[in-house]
Amino acid sequence: MYTLHWETMAGSIVAQAMLEEAGASYQLNHVDMAGDAHKRTDYLRINPIGRVPALTLPSKETIGETAAIVIALGEQFPDASLTPQPGDADRETFLFWLNVMATAGYMTVARHGHPERYAFDENAISEVEQQAAKDLETFFDTMEAAITGNDTFLASGFSALDLYLAMLTEWSADRARLFENRPAMRAVCLSVGTRPGYKTALETHR
């Protein structure tokens, strides 16, 4: 059995959606970051960097970072077609955009949502938030241009990239405005929103 260590509205949405899609047996362990549960000794023994998500595998090994979890689950459940497998024509493209979402995307969302983590002075915090908002617009424009499918990120069909992109848009205070001039991204996210695994994950994290 897998154990997903999660927090509200985090990258663990993607991990749980993938577990659901794969039909994997798993349990949830909520890590209350507001209560500093991620800094406690018992959690640091699970994930030394004190972040979520983390996934304890049936082997009892634990891995962190959403991109690493996506790759691991994709390879452990190849029949679920969540990630292109090694040797697949889309593998390199998938890995590239996965890492773009995990770095440029996720970290910019974090900077916008919690600017106080990146500065001390009130004016500096405000500037961090404003710059992050601009960077998010650029990031989502990049995503819009990169989408090659009709309602999937890759032209070859559904993958974990669709889950990841949809998750990143969940933080938007105005998703309708976000999608206004990004029809390809809107189509991907609306399609993901109909998937039972994603719905289950989203309900968990709200």
- pLDDT tens digits for range 105-122: 999 999 998 989 898 999
For residue 9, pLDDT over 80 is answered with no
pLDDT value of position 8: 86
For residue 75, pLDDT over 80 is answered with yes
Contact present, 64 and 80 (Cβ < 8 Å): no
Alpha-carbon gap, residue 146 to 166, rounded angstroms: 14
pLDDT value of position 120: 93
pLDDT value of position 83: 98
120-170: pLDDT as tens digits: 999 999 999 999 999 999 999 999 999 999 999 999 999 999 999 999 999
Confidence of residue 99 (pLDDT cuts 50, 70, 90): very high
Q: What is the pTM of this model?
A: 0.95
Please give the average per-residue pLDDT across 44-67, as a whole number: 95
What amino acid is encoded at 27 in this protein?
Answer: Q
Read off φ and ψ for residue 191, nearest 5 degrees.
-65, -45
Q: For the chain, percent helix, then strand, then coil, each to nearest 5?
A: 60, 10, 30
For residue 10, pLDDT over 90 is answered with no
For residue 206, pLDDT over 90 is answered with no
Confidence of residue 47 (pLDDT cuts 50, 70, 90): very high
Measure the CA dihedral 195/113/139/124, to 10°. Answer: 180
pLDDT value of position 175: 94
pLDDT value of position 45: 94
SS3 52: coil
